[in-house]
Amino acid sequence: MLTVRTHAPNGLVSIGTKSVAVAVAVQHDGVMPIIPDTKNWTWVLEKPCAECGFDASVLSERDVAALIRSNAGLWPAVLTRPDATARPDDSTWSALEYAAHVRDVFRIFEVRLHLMLDQDNPLFANWDQDEIAVAERYNEQDPAVVSAELGAAAAVLADTLDSVPDDSWTRRGRRGDGAEFTIASLARYLAHDPVHHLWDVRAG
């Protein structure tokens, strides 16, 4: 089964299921599926990323909002490139697919952040980024729409991060795989994702 995300009217995320035939149909349309990324990236909280060079371990959680706004401002130029929908190889997303992913990361972390602010140690709903990319047909979305949605999602998330009270950064939440975060560590963990993917599309 595929986990399929649809956008609710409030801009949050709802989870449903859909037959794996969706993935097969995409293959038949000529789009090769990307091998899922199964690595546990929580190590980026402790040391620099060997690929993009970003070091979340020296980042203050209070600086993440500004980083997100700055990063979001760089994506429109990427999405107006004539090759925005071209994959550099069969195992790498296109710039458009990366941008759609970053947009959805911002939306998902906005939901998780509010859960942590409103509940004691909530368990986050599972989210499979690779299945979502296939089910939502990221590379068939309109680059201009994705650009606008990414910017809007970044602005909402950054504003929420700026509003976190000083005594709430230690509030906790957890993923289904056992990874545990405070709001502070979740913010720093999040920061690596859009930075890394902007590096991906520039390096490609």
Q: What is the pLDDT of residue 41?
A: 63
Name the DSSP letter for residue 11. Answer: S
Q: What is the pLDDT of residue 101?
A: 97
Torsion of CA 110, 116, 119, 125, to 10 degrees: 60
DSSP H/E element including 16: strand 13-18
Alpha-carbon distance of 105 to 187, in angstroms, equals 12
Q: What is the pLDDT of residue 3?
A: 30
pTM over 0.75: yes
Q: What is the pLDDT of residue 91?
A: 86
Alpha-carbon distance of 33 to 51, in angstroms, equals 23
Report residues of the chain scoring pLDDT below 70: 1-41, 203-204
Secondary structure (DSSP) of the chain: -EEEEEE-TTS-EEEEEE-THHHHHHHHTT-PPPPP----GGGGGTS--TTT---GGG--GGGHHHHHHHHHTTHHHHHTSTTTT--SSTTS--HHHHHHHHHHHHHHHHHHHHHHHHSSSPBPPP--HHHHHHHTTGGGS-HHHHHHHHHHHHHHHHHHHHT--GGGTT-EEE-TTS-EEEHHHHHHHHHHHHHHHHHHHHH-
71: its two tokens? 């990063």
Strand partners, 81: none
DSSP H/E element including 6: strand 2-7
Alpha-carbon distance of 13 to 2, in angstroms, equals 15
CATH class of 2-203: mainly alpha
Q: What is the pLDDT of residue 111?
A: 97
Q: Which amino acid is at 146?
A: V
Tell me the C-alpha to C-alpha distance, in Å, between residue 180 and each of 42, 152, 171: 10, 28, 11
Q: How far is CA 26 from the centre of its chain?
A: 22
